[in-house]
A and B are shown apart, each in its own frame.
Chain A
Amino acid sequence: GQNIDQPTEMTATEGAIVQINCTYQTSGFNGLFWYQQHAGEAPTFLSYNVLDGLEEKGRFSSFLSRSKGYSYLLLKELQMKDSASYLCAVMDSNYQLIWGAGTKLIIKP
């Protein structure tokens, strides 16, 4: 079957760095997305990886290893507003999105 795993909840301190991992097993691969979702709001796009390696966008970076079925989202210089759920989603060979359950990130002062 198809499966996406990410931790349910993580806690980090303001100003620190946190890494949210995502492992996947899907039939085919057409890219991996990371979204941020604040409670009661629509998800906002953070990154899209289709090739191996690290992509950096300001304080956020996303890494992909297709051979390992693994990705992570790295958040630097954490701010209180980064408290949110982070969703990992993989597009399979049929261009269907397989969603992780999301990681709730709690930032403490």
Chain B
Amino acid sequence: GAVVSQHPSWVICKSGTSVKIECRSLDFQATTMFWYRQFPKQSLMLMATSNEGSKATYEQGVEKDKFLINHASLTLSTLTVTSAHPEDSSFYICSASEDDEQYFGPGTRLTVT
């Protein structure tokens, strides 16, 4: 089946620094990738939808200048959390879409100290 990977799995950074999270579709080409934030034991909140070669579409309330998304190729999308604050500490999950199916990555746990 289709596999989506994320790197890194865990990251700890200091307040004010930037962190980049990669999302890769390993065995298929994904024209669309999604970035989610998971609140503890709760819902996945859709942050943005990225299409290869174009600007990402952000959900209401998500700061596009803080959460930079780049979908440079059909197999890679990156999420950069800029000037991270402790409240950005969370579990970030990406998914990649092939035809009508959506495949989820294992997530990246970000802790900002």
Contacts and interface: CB of A to CB of B under 8 A. Distances in A.
Contacts of B106: 96-99
The main secondary structure of chain B at its interface with chain A is strand
Interface string A13-40: 0000000000000000001000101010
A43 interface: yes
A70 interface: no
B36 interface: yes
Contacts of B45: 42
Nearest to A89: B104
Nearest to B36: A42
Chain A interface, >50% SS class: strand
Interface string B80-105: 00000000000101000000101110
Given A96-B9, A97-B93, A45 B43 contact: yes
Question: How large, as a class, is the contact surface on chain A?
Answer: 10 to 19
A101 interface: yes
Contacts, number: 38
Given A42-B36, A45-B42, A48-B41, A97 B102 contact: no
A94 B107 CA distance: 11
A26 to B, nearest CB: 11
B64 interface: no
Contacts of B41: 31, 48
Interface of A: 31, 35, 37, 39, 42-45, 48, 87, 89, 94-99, 101
A42 B46 contact: yes
A43 B109 contact: no
Nearest to B93: A97
A31 B38 CA distance: 14
Contact of B44 (A45, A48, A101): A45
B9 A39 contact: no
A44 B43 CA distance: 6
Nearest to A43: B44
